[in-house]
Amino acid sequence: MEPNRGNDQNNKKPGGDRPKGNYFTPLMIALVLVLVFSWVMNTVEKSQYTETTWNDFKQAKDAGQLSEVEIRSDRILYMTKEETAKDPSRQKACYTGLPTGGDLQALADELVDMGVTVKEQIVEDNSMIMMILSYVIMIGGMFLLMNMLTKRMGGDGMMGGFGKSKAKVYMEKQTGVTFKDVAGQDEAKESLQEIIDFLHNPQKYTAIGAKLPKGALLVGSPGTGKTLLAKAVAGEADVPFFSISGSDFVEMFVGMGASRVRDLFQQAAKVAPCIIFIDEIDAVGRSRDNRYGSNSEQEQTLNQLLSEIDGFESSKGIVCLAATNRPEILDKALLRPGRFDRRIIVDRPNLQGRLDTLKVHTRKIRLSEDVDLRKIAQATAGAVGADLANLVNEAALRAVRHGRQAVNQEDLLVSFETVIAGTEKKNTVLTDMEKRLVAYHEVGHALIAALEKHSQPVSKITIVPHTSGALGYTMQMPEEEKFLSTADELRTELRTLVGGRAAEQVVFGIQTTGAANDIQRATSLARNMVTQYGMSEKFGLMSTASVQNQYLDGQAYMDCAQSTAAEVDEEVKKILESAYSDAKRILTENRGLLDEISEFLLVKETVTGDELMAYVNAGKNSLPAPEQTTEE
């Protein structure tokens, strides 16, 4: 959105009223470069000639030994006949100074009469003026070049630009973001509403003696909308918004990061009230111990940031917002009261939050009447705002590819599957045996999920290969939002995960590589049951692992003795073997149902959850024949 150029506040620079440019640094650099260049050229030129006296030159002239002479404004270059014979290339000439009070024109005429070659005669009286003029032109050209380079480097001068802050100032009309554009984060918006109200009405808080929190830390997984939320705060408060990444402070030159921190807060103080937003603050706010490693530049920058936060009064209306997805590695001094003491969790949205987010992202998308965003929200459990935005965009692109004027429900569902499993690989040709293996494998997953209690309903089974590497997949869609899982539900999930391998073993008596991802997920789930959830008979309520980077990969690291870790492996193996045994028993007892659904899937390649449950509920006698169904 274009800023309002008639508003002086929008056009005002963060640093206040400053001259358009600082020309001293480029001028000094140009002057030094020209002087150095002239000195180098003079030194190189002198090294090519042999210095002599005026008497030597006069004696050679009187003896008729001169071969070539070049008269310059500051010296005379000459070569004797003997030197010309020895050096045909004429690279070793002699030079001498000009005579005091001598007539150079008369000397040139005399040399010509003697048959000496006079190559150039520079005897003008204004030679000094021309030399000075040439130096002025050189310095002026070099100055223009250096001034252009320094402007491109983004600083007032080449050396002064290193310490300048790279922060960009945003006004409300520039960002165009308010709380209406942020959905699914009601708790975070409520926590930030107090900061907005303080910036609007500071006297209401200062009258009772309350102080505005100097800093708030936005913590959450990538893509949850931390930066968008910070921009919305600036838009709601209608104050200048300084945005900078933590990595912008860190430079290879020690002290430059601290200089940029000082410059940032100096700019903010001139336009207060305002908001400073530091994205990915863990790049500069990492703990200063040796556990994660550090360097002097990072420590100096962090120390300067701490002192700047302590240096301004909250009554000035400067609020520091920061975002990170690694709060556990931040320095404790950064999180103490009086600094970033307020932590605001920007979590993954729940069902209602995902629905509201989809409504925000589809405001400018033309939707058909069959679109049900609630079903899409139910299917995307665990998705963040960035995932939902990508899903909606993929659906719009698919609608355009198919020549439609609006996005329908199928576009959204297919886009969701594309995000999960990739696009279909139409050129992949499986052998008949491979196709049967994939069909029985996927039906093994789906049948156990359909027959077991405490399982999520199956919405789709397909044996169409996808670009993610999957030759087929079974999709389960939860009926409602759940935040807790019981031990029975987790054991049912384990049996569902190993159901594909169990079907291969029951029907074909073989094992394939198609169960690699299933086994990996089942092992991770079983390990979490033992180490974190306290759901094993041997260890009971004992926790043997701790989670680090919970907002990134959420990987758990063993926090126990090596002997205990070995016992954990045995317990995990025991849980997996029990789930695998139960899965084979269920499929063996329902072998006829397994065969018929697999044959149906081989014919149709894609089976919906309703068709699956028709087989399970109706039995063999009332099953629709595969040839009577139409392909989708």
Would you name the residues annotated as active-site residues? Answer: 442
**Strands 215-219 and 168-170, sheet pairing:** unpaired
Residue with tokens 């945005």: 243
- Residue whose C-alpha is closest to residue 303's, from 263, 259, 364: 259
Orientation angle between helical segments 432-451 and 562-589, nearest 10 degrees: 100
- What number of other Cβ atoms are within 10 A of residue 8's Cβ? 8
Q: What sign results for the dihedral spanned by CA atoms 170, 175, 176, 179?
A: negative
Q: Are 142 and 150 in contact (CB under 8 A)?
A: no
**What is the rounded CA–CA span in Å between residue 292 and residue 282?**
12
Cis before residue 273, ω within 30 degrees of 0? yes
Determine phi and psi for 440, rounding to 5 degrees.
-65, -35
- Residue whose C-alpha is closest to residue 95's, from 128, 46, 59: 46
Q: Two tokens at 497?
A: 């995960």
CA terminus-to-terminus distance, the chain = 44
Determine phi and psi for 63, rounding to 5 degrees.
-85, 0
Give the helix/strand (H/E) hosting 319. Answer: strand 318-324
Q: Which distant-in-sequence residues (6+ apart) come within 8 Å of 573 by Cβ? A: none
**What is the rounded CA–CA span in Å between residue 64 and residue 79?**
12
Q: Two tokens at 46?
A: 């002198």
Can you name the residues that pair with 404 across neighbouring β-strands?
none
Q: Are 397 and 405 in contact (CB under 8 A)?
A: no
Runs of H (alpha helix) within 345-384: 351-361, 373-379
Q: Which distant-in-sequence residues (6+ apart) come within 8 Å of 406 by Cβ? A: 366, 367, 368, 399
**What is the rounded CA–CA span in Å between residue 282 and residue 330?**
6
**What is the rounded CA–CA span in Å between residue 374 and residue 356?**
9
**What is the rounded CA–CA span in Å between residue 532 and residue 540?**
10
**What is the rounded CA–CA span in Å between residue 440 and residue 503?**
6
- What number of other Cβ atoms are within 10 A of residue 568's Cβ? 21
Runs of H (alpha helix) within 275-368: 296-311, 351-361
